[in-house]
Amino acid sequence: MMGMQTQIPEEVFVEKAIWDAVHRHLRSIFTRDVDTYQETTGEDLSLYEWFVTPHRLDGLEFHRFMIESNWSAVGERWRYDLLEPRLQRYGDAAIVSYTATGSTALRVSRERPMVPIMGLTPKVETARRLAIAWGVHCVPTHDPSGFNDMVDIAIEAALRDAFAQPNDRVVIIAGVPFGTPGATNLLHIAYIPPFAERRIKPRPLIAAAE
């Protein structure tokens, strides 16, 4: 009788390690295990928790304070559930779509990508319509003045709303010339540099639409 050895793909071990880290991380919150929480959380943690604050939270200090303050009712019976857990490994943090009428962002939305979609538009009415589109986060802004301005605005929006962080990449979709409806003809992958290396603009990159 001849035996057969099956080679288990490396991805299986990687995914198991990721899920193990997720469960260790969640358990550490309820058991007030600060050391494990810190071990399973990146030092450059950036969060956006609308029910706590309208601003982005950078670093571990806030959650460490919450854990040490016993916010999760430690000592009582607890459980957590993951609804339809899925694991996707990807390199791009978000898709940024410049859109005047909303059609570009809607076409991206129909593909159901596994990363957030940011719809940047100079028109408030378009932003309102996109608010109910699948996976689209709307950002009222102004039309970019050129290619570099387009990249700067996209990066600033992604960082401000915590969809990306330094060293991530974002996919930018737009139409040239800017502000022309139905002219989607550009796809650019932008690297987000560390804060110290970013271009300094003399005005805010994100402006409320008039």
| Tens of pLDDT, residue by residue, the chain (210 residues) | 444 444 555 666 777 888 888 888 888 877 888 888 888 877 666 555 545 555 556 667 777 777 777 665 555 677 777 776 766 555 567 888 888 888 888 888 888 887 889 999 888 888 888 888 988 998 888 888 888 888 888 988 888 888 888 888 899 988 877 767 766 888 888 888 876 566 655 555 555 544
Burial 122-138 (b: 16+ CB within 10 A, else e): bbeebbebbeebebbbb
Q: Are strands 117-121 and 136-140 parallel, antiparallel or unpaired?
A: parallel
For the chain, give percent helix, strand, coil, nearest 5.
Answer: 30, 20, 50
Cα–Cα distance measured from residue 106 to residue 119, given in angstroms and rounded to the nearest whole number: 9
Which amino acid, residue 37? Y
> Backbone phi, then psi, for 189, in 5-degree steps?
-100, 120
Question: String of b and e for 33-70 (b: at least 16 CB within 10 Å)?
Answer: beebbbebbeeeebeeeeeeeeeebeebeebeeebeee
DSSP secondary structure code for residue 183 in this structure: -
Q: For domain 92-197, say whether CATH 3.40.1380.20 is its number.
A: yes
What sections of 31-98 are H helices per DSSP? Answer: 34-39, 61-68
Q: Where are the domains of the chain?
A: 10-68, 92-197
For the record, the structure tokens of 58 come out as 């950078």
Both tokens of 26, joined, read 């969640």
Are domains 10-68 and 92-197 of this chain identical in fold?
no
pTM score of the predicted model: 0.54
Q: Which fold has domain 10-68?
A: Nuclear Transport Factor 2; Chain: A, (3.10.450)
Cβ atoms within 10 Å, residue 120 = 29
